[in-house]
Structure 1
Amino acid sequence: MNWGNARRWVETWAWGDVGAWVAVVLALAALVVSIRAQRDGRKSADAAVASVEEARLSRLASERSAKVAEQTLLDQRQEAAERRIAEAEANRPRPAFTITRSRNNEFYLRNSGTGPAAGVTVLDRGFPDIGERPENQTLAPDEAVDFRMLATAGSSIPSTLYVVWDGQEEGVPVAVPAG
């Protein structure tokens, strides 16, 4: 190597330029650090935007889930109320009637149900021409009213009588025991 040229170069080089070169190197390093920081900042900003979007979607899903749960609860409450009403109606005391024969032509109309009945009337439908048809009677549970039916040549004792009472306007069939 030609040391003479190198020596000349070192002699001509001013030591004041060393600070400038150090500044250039430091500026380049700062530029690299700045570019990397900018990339990281963008990544963080993108992650924050994605996180905000995920939070919004999660909130919407939670709101939908809460609405479904609320509607389900309302449906369950309505079903429970309907079930209670149906059970109360099924357990409500109701009259029911049976006919028993005491002697040949004497019968008893008995309230064999669990509730009282007012306005109890045996309808004329099928009732023989000769007899005392119960009308507008009030019968408590297990209470009975007696009546007579006679069979004649023109009519026989029916096998079924029809009974109505207050709240039951359509005749309910009640079997008549055979004699």
Structure 2
Amino acid sequence: MDFGDIPAWLALAFSAGALWVSIKTSSDGKKSADASARSAAAAEAALALQRQEAEERRAAEEEAARPRVDLRVEWVRKSKYRIVNHGDAVASNITCLNVPGISRALDEPFTLERHGAHEFIMSGSMQEPMPAFLRVVWDGQEEPVNLLMP
């Protein structure tokens, strides 16, 4: 039996083995590249989520730090009351939406500086009892706010 040139056959065997290793490495490299792409996409999504959470946290902190109006009704004596702004923001053009019939100094809009007060007189009658609360709005607060009467 004649195999011919033995070094040529050995070279053919080594080249076939090298081809097989090259194909195997190529498929492993493709899997690695796919895994790397998935990892990069996951990292990008995580970073976007962190940025969104940081933005929401910053907005919440800004909202919490913003000066606010805090109006309350206080009784002074007899039929005399006052609306006091306990907040740190100015309440401009305060308007009472449910002005009772027997009242004075509530029928015109007024402004309260921070920690300012506006006195008014109010009393009930048989036909119109004292309201349980005053409904007020002001600039920047279009939704009526109920101020409990003491």
TM > 0.5 fold call: yes
Distance of 1:139 and 1:131 partners within structure 2: 19
- Report the 3-state secondary structure (helix = DSSP H, G, I; strand = E; otherwise coil) of the residue aligned with 1:102: strand
1:170 aligns with 2:139: no
State the TM-score, normalizing by the size of structure 2.
Answer: 0.87
Q: Would you say how many aligned residue pairs link Structure 1 and Structure 2?
A: 148
Residue 118 of structure 1 and its aligned partner are, at CA, apart by 0.7
Maintained 8 Å contact 1:134/1:147: no
Give the aligned partner of residue 79 of structure 1: 53
Question: Counterpart amino acid of 1:144?
Answer: A
Which residue, out of 130, 133, 139, partners 1:157? Answer: 130
Q: Which has the higher contact order (CA 8 A, sep 6+)?
A: 2
Give the aligned partner of residue 35 of structure 2: 61
State the TM-score, normalizing by the size of structure 1.
Answer: 0.74
Structure with the larger strand share: 2
Structure 2 unaligned blocks of 5 or more = none
Q: Give 1:39-118 correspondences, 5 Å limit.
A: 39-118=13-92
Question: Counterpart amino acid of 1:35?
Answer: W
Q: State the superposition RMSD in angstroms.
A: 1.9
Runs of 4 or more above 6 Å deviation: none
Larger radius of gyration: 1
Structure with the larger helix share: 1
Structure 1 unaligned blocks of 5 or more = 1-27
Give the aligned partner of residue 102 of structure 2: 130
